């Protein structure tokens, strides 16, 4: 096998690895998981409002982190595929944050349902 064919095979392999490595998901693309509103049914309107503010703040924080990670993964993928293939192993690694964000989005939806049911303003 010629050197040029070997290099071509290597670049092709590294490109495939970068695609399959699993990049971080942007915050807006994380879908909320279902959370039952009954866990908040004992809350009064003030408690619902406070919890919504807490959850909203954490959602914004995690979304920002995931957006940054997704952007970084794209850059690392390009650089890794072209220049330094070991960088491809740095992709992703935010599955825990994605799971937390999905849960929090579900909690926010549940809190909205409770707020509507209790006719909170």
Which segments of the chain are extended strands (E)?
none
**pLDDT tens, residue by residue, 61-105:** 988 888 887 676 555 555 544 455 554 455 454 778 888 989 999
Taking the C-alpha atoms of residue 52 and residue 25, their distance in angstroms, rounded to an integer, is 24
Domain count, the chain: 1
Q: Which of 85, 84, 65, 66 is nearest to 16 (CA)?
A: 85
Structure-token pair, residue 97: 């944050």
DSSP 91: S
- Tell me the pLDDT band of 29, cut-offs 50, 70 and 90: confident
Structural domain boundaries enclosing 37: 3-117
On the question of pLDDT at 54 being above 70, the answer is yes
């Amino acid at each position: 096998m010629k050197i040029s064919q070997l290099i071509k095979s290597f670049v092709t392999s590294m490109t495939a690895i970068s695609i399959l490595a699993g990049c971080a998901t942007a915050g807006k693309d994380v879908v909320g998981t279902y959370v039952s509103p009954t866990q908040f049914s004992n809350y009064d309107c003030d408690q619902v409002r406070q919890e919504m503010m807490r959850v909203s703040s954490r959602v914004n924080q995690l979304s920002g982190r995931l957006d940054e990670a997704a952007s970084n993964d794209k850059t690392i993928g390009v650089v890794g595929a072209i220049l330094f293939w070991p960088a491809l192993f740095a992709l992703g690694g935010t599955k825990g944050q994605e799971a937390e964000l999905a849960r929090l989005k579900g909690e926010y939806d549940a809190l909205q349902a409770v707020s509507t049911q209790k006719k909170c303003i």
